[in-house]
Structure 1
Amino acid sequence: MKRVLNGTVVATALLASVHAHAQGGVTLYGLIDTGVDWESHAATAPGQTSAPGSAIRMTSLSSALPSRWGLRGKEDLGSGLSAIFELESGFAPNSGTLQNGNRIFGRSAWVGIESPYGTVRVGRQINMTYVALMKSTVLGPALYSLAALDPYLPNSRSDNTLSYFNDFHHFVMGATYSTGRDAQSSAGSAAVNGGATYNPGATNCPGSVAGSPTSCRQITALAGYWGPEFGLQLVYDELRGGPGALPGSVSFDPSMPLLLSSASQKTTRYMVSGYAQLGDLSFRGGAIHRMTAATMDYQTNIFYIGASYMVAPDVELDGEISRITTTDQKNANYYVMRATYLLSKRTSIYTMLGFMQNNSRASYAVGAGYFTVAGAKQTGVLFGVQQRF
């Protein structure tokens, strides 16, 4: 309760500051996006052997996009330099609670300098894996998206991060370096990991350990070409384990509840992806190879391709097909379609249809963050509304 009250006080003060300095280059922005989701063969927890039936619920973590509000600022310093900052808070519209590990500014909290030679930022921010994903998938971080196959992807942001990014005549390069990728933990009843429960948005790895500079370190790098008609990019993402934030605990791999108990244990991703724009029709796709070296070695491969088409100025259709294969043969095919109707420049309604085709060992749910049983052929239908401000 105290944390929520403190967050309310901070938010009120910031809003007052925006009102007082609206001419000083500070912008208040955000979106509220929620809907009603129905899924067949729904389970209430992971590892169940039978599904009690279908489930209907209002979305909380994400619908078409995660709900958020934020503040952005920019000040011209002269000689081509600008000071910039961003504070962004994620929330659940169905309950009003905070997301991203219950942080008031869990989506981003950084300050930086923008120049003709690139942009440098310091603080909590998205990393290059997230940047590349937003360029190469038509669905983004929706409830029905690649997040259902790898929950790290829509949560690929890091604490304690120094970043650099530059776009030079459409050739792009960027990198992030985090000394402690996630200082938040998720308290719960699990006996393992010091009482913390698995949460891809709070993975319990604060870093800054004396004598172990690589504990909880994360490095991401991106290189590519972003042209008006096509683009291609390569990404490297390495995150290491280490002591957790709770006494006696260790960190999580944000892809799955696998412990990374020391700095020598790590998860590495390699991504190649791109896009092509042909008038009102666009194609996006890529491949992501992940290797986790811990008490066991684990690998996954995700392949995805999608298309988006503006049928009319106010109607957009999206579709994406993806496939995951794993070391232990938990394989699945995933099919998603979405139709969006723009009521205005700021308001839209949409519907999504998803189908998850698990093999006999896999139990990926059609909706990210939910559960089903091994071998399920699960269908999901989502109706939602989004309003930007």
Structure 2
Amino acid sequence: MKTTGIRLAAIALAASGAASAQENVTVYGSVDAGVSYVSNQRGGSSVREDAGNRSPDRIGFRGAEDLGSGYKALFVVESGFNLDDGSMKRAGVLFNRYSVVGLSTPAGTVTMGHMPDFMYEYLRFQSNGNLGSAYFFHPGNLDNMANQFQLDNAVKYESPNFGGFTFGAMNGFGEQAGSFNKARTYSFGAKYIGSALNAGLAYTVSHDRAINIGGTLGVGRLLGQTLSANPVAPDAVYANFNADLTTSMGINASYKIGDFMPHAMYSRVKLENKVGSAAQANYEIGTDYNLSVADTVGVSVSRSTFQNIRWNQFNLINMYRLSKRTTLYVAGAYQKASGGYAVINGFLPSNSQSQAVYRVGIHHLF
């Protein structure tokens, strides 16, 4: 009888442990579609059905297993796709946005795999590109506010939340024989999320990064590399700019005042090779205003510089929430350039110094 009681107690203890270690898995995602008009792409206007504009089209799976005593195992896998034609965002890469597994502890969280840098993770929430439209991102998205650049073979540490303050560091191993730095990327960041004030800063260094400067900025030649014979020709052919070193930094903040949320940010990206260096600087200010519980207007202005080129852009969006998950919106952006071509993010360069885009869309979260 005593032996049976011990066995029953052991079984109950084991069952209790198994119950406490249950894993919760969540499926989530975003789909966005709309019709956009652009005034000038390589000399002509166009109308197109465009996807992933208010927020990138994606589907993901995240899970966590409670291990007890403040420890959790976790994973996230997230894939970006194009809703308009069903294609993968990056051909041959299924989980192109996130593919990580890790351990959360009282001393912080460690994750490993494929992930964005802190320029995206800690600065995107105050960028009007994320609050509004992909067209509002800075020319070429060199500062990665649109999460088009991720780290492979990465290890990340993120601190616990200290009264709203969090900091982190990550390293993406280049895994090149004979050189620790070849193709390596590392990033640092810190953020504060409060009831009214949100702020973030980030710093990223990438070795041996290829960037489509010609196609996104309308630049034909940079630091000794020919990128395109004519970047705004209808049949233009682009070559990537191969940077030996890319250094990115940024800082931003927003503050809620009643129905207003003013925000500002600054970012700088420096490209280097054996010939020299070139840098892009981005300045942005704006505000969101709640017309009602369901209706929000966002407005921002930005100025970007690269070499002798200047881009000034005005952005406006009206978002009407049908529910917590579904939003109807109209958006517009106008850009004026000097010293080069107008290049609103997401479009081919204009063959003039001005470019405008207007859009009507619907966005749904699940």
| TM, length-normalised to structure 2 | 0.81
Tell me which residue corresponds to 1:383.
Answer: 360
* Aligned-pair identity (%): 26
SS at match of 1:132: helix
Which residue of the partner structure matches residue 18 of structure 1?
none
**What is the aligned partner in structure 1 of residue 290 from structure 2?**
310
The residue type paired with residue 88 of structure 1 is E
CA–CA distance in structure 2, aligned partners of residues 175 and 101 of structure 1: 29
Q: Is residue 128–residue 136 contact of structure 2 (8 Å, CA) maintained in 1?
A: no
Q: Which residue of 2 aligns with 1:253?
A: 211
Does the C-alpha gap of structure 1 residues 270 and 386 become closer, same or farther in structure 2, counting only changes over 3 Å? same
Instruction: Answer whether contact 1:170 1:225 (CA < 8 A) is retained.
Output: yes
- The residue that corresponds to 2:25 in the other structure is 26
Q: 1:101 to 1:308 in 2, by over 3 A?
A: farther
TM-fit CA distance, 1:138 = 2.7
- Superposed CA offset, 1:128-157 (max 9, x none): 100222232133183212244425331242
Map 1:229-240; keep pairs closer than 5 Å. Answer: 229-240=196-207
| Structure 2 counterpart SS, 1:168 | coil
Say if 2:126 is the partner of 1:158: no
1:232 shift after superposition: 3.1
Greater per-residue strand proportion: 2
Q: 164, 171, 175: which one pairs with 2:165?
A: 171
Gapped runs of 5+ residues in structure 1?
1-22, 44-50, 180-206, 242-250
For residue 253 of structure 1, report the CA deviation from its aligned partner. 3.3
Task: Tell me the TM-score normalised to structure 1 length.
Answer: 0.77
Partner of 1:54: 45
Q: 3-state DSSP class of the match of 2:317?
A: strand
The Cα shift of 1:374 comes to 4.8
TM superposition shift of 1:255: 6.0
Question: In the alignment, is residue 138 of structure 1 matched against residue 132 of structure 2?
Answer: no
Aligned residues: 315
Three-state SS of the structure 1 residue aligned to 2:134 is coil
Which of the numbers 319, 323, 327 marks the counterpart of 1:340?
319
Render the CA deviation track for 1:243-265: whole Å, top value 9, x for unaligned. Answer: xxxxxxxx5036663113xxxx2
SS in 1 for 2:128: coil
Preserved contact between residue 120 and residue 165 of structure 1 (Cα < 8 Å)? yes
Distance 1:102 1:277 in 2: 42
Q: How far did residue 355 of structure 1 move? A: 0.3
Query: Aligned letter for 2:358?
Result: V
CA contact (8 A) 1:332 1:357 kept: yes
Equivalent AA in structure 1 for residue 145 of structure 2 = L
Residues in 2 aligned to 1:339 and 1:163: alpha-carbon distance in whole angstroms: 37
User: How far off its partner does 1:326 sit?
Assistant: 1.7
Structure 2 residue runs of 5 or longer lacking an equivalent are 1-21, 215-239
Deviation at 1:226, TM superposition (A): 2.7
CA RMSD of aligned residues (A): 1.8
TM-aligned CA distance change 1:153 to 1:345, over 3 Å: closer
Q: Is the 8 A contact 2:314 2:334 kept in 1?
A: yes
Amino acid at match of 1:293: E
What is residue 40 of structure 1 aligned with on the other side?
Answer: 39
Q: Whose radius of gyration is greater, 1 or 2?
A: 2
